[in-house]
Structure 1
Amino acid sequence: MAETEEQIKARKERERDELYALDISDVEWRSAPGTEEHEERVEIANLPGGAVAMRSSLDPGTVLRYTEAEWRAFVLGARDGEFDLEAPAPRNDEQAAEA
């Protein structure tokens, strides 16, 4: 039997609550290879059940947590270029200076 929209919402809220209730004080944080301790970087930690925690090295107290499904969707989207940043369009004063 398929879940109703209300049931899905309730399940996701429960999963989020359980995820944020986890004690992650002893997790091992890792960052991209080649980054130095003093550099700004994103740090990732694996959590139980395939979940993932993410934080900035500049603000280690603020931690985002993702379920396995959320993390998988993010990684696949990143690989497909969904989050690629485009260069901002030049402002009018920059266009005038180039002319």
Structure 2
Amino acid sequence: MEIEDKFDMLLRMLEEFERKRGKADQRRRADFQSLKAAVESWMPEVQKNAEELQISVGDCHAQKFPNGIPSRMCIKIPVQDQPGYTNDNVDIQIHVLQTS
């Protein structure tokens, strides 16, 4: 009789765990659906911000380079306390490749 009682108790425990697991799965699915809906609602705003940033960068380029981006630029960068340099500036030439 003891073995049958223990077996019945184990079966009840398994049924209880299965029921709890089923409820947890339902909650998890609901949480994921909620998260998915939240992320999908943010996507248009993120896309809009990215487009506005692209337009803003284009406007800045148009203001900085009204005749188009130059193919070469020379920049002087001050160098201080660097061993081996005798002048105060380092000249850097940048070649810009333009693609269509």
Question: Which structure features the higher share of helix residues?
Answer: 2
The structure number with the bigger radius of gyration is 2
TM-score normalized by the length of structure 2: 0.27
TM-score normalized by the length of structure 1: 0.27
Question: Which structure features the higher share of strand residues?
Answer: 1
